Amino acid sequence: MLAPAALVVVFIVIVIVIATSLGGSGGGGGKHGGGGGKKAEATPRTYTLKQGDNLSVISQRYNVPPDVLRQLNPNLDPQALVPGQQVKLR
């Protein structure tokens, strides 16, 4: 009877460890993910806009559909992006 309970506890601990290791970046504004030969990194939570950025470029860089970017950032005007603004990615 204790063995199944111990198995459930071990499974829960493993899920918690994996979840915290994947979601513990706390942002990452300004980091660019792409690069030749580098391992794919988890999508950061936010991105800090830089000169020349637009939602299409950010969408492609972080593999987040433009519609999702618009839903996550309803107050963001795609025609009036300002360097330093934060864009939610997830």
Asked if residues 21 and 42 have their Cβ atoms less than 8 Å apart, the reply is no
Assess if residue 11 is contained within a domain: no
* pTM of this structure: 0.49
Assess if residue 1 is contained within a domain: no
Asked if residues 85 and 53 have their Cβ atoms less than 8 Å apart, the reply is no
Which residue did the predictor score with more confidence, 75 or 41? 75
**49 CB-near residues (< 8 Å, 6+ apart):** 81, 82, 83, 84, 85, 86, 87
Assess if residue 18 is contained within a domain: no
CATH number at residue 68: 3.10.350.10
Assess if residue 76 is contained within a domain: yes
Assess if residue 62 is contained within a domain: yes
Per the structure, how many domains does the chain have?
A: 1
Tens-digit pLDDT profile for residues 31-66: 444 444 555 567 778 899 999 888 888 999 999 898
| Residue 66, domain extent | 26-34+41-88
Assess if residue 2 is contained within a domain: no
